[in-house]
Amino acid sequence: MRWRHLLITIFIIPYLIIYAIIAIFFIDLISGISWIIDLFVYAIFGFLWIIPTIPFVNWLAKNES
């Protein structure tokens, strides 16, 4: 079932690029106010990309033979 790997790759790579652009935009708006806020924002954006990818990875793992 290699087509699933290809499909996930085709969708996840552009998603991550778009996510990085959006994250950079918001971080640029917020950064510099306080180092605590910067730390919190970087941590949030650092883990936030994982939430939408979990269903895709689970789908890929569930259908592995």
Q: What is the pLDDT of residue 59?
A: 83
Structure tokens that stand for 28 in this block: 């640029």
- Cα 26 to Cα 23: distance, rounded to the nearest angstrom: 5
In a domain, 34, yes or no: yes
In a domain, 41, yes or no: yes
pTM, rounded to two decimals: 0.74
Taking alpha carbons only, the member of 50, 53, 45, 47 closest to residue 21 is 45
pLDDT digit string (tens) for 19-64? 999 999 999 988 888 889 989 989 999 999 999 888 888 888 887 7
In a domain, 30, yes or no: yes
Count of domains forming the chain: 1
In a domain, 18, yes or no: no
In a domain, 4, yes or no: no
Q: What is the pLDDT of residue 52?
A: 87
In a domain, 51, yes or no: yes
Q: What is the pLDDT of residue 1?
A: 61
In a domain, 16, yes or no: no
Residues spanned by the domain of 53: 24-57
Asked if residue 1 lies in contact with residue 64, where contact means CB atoms within 8 angstroms, the answer is yes
In a domain, 2, yes or no: no
37: Cα within 13 Å, side-chain hemisphere:
9
Structure tokens that stand for 26 in this block: 């918001």
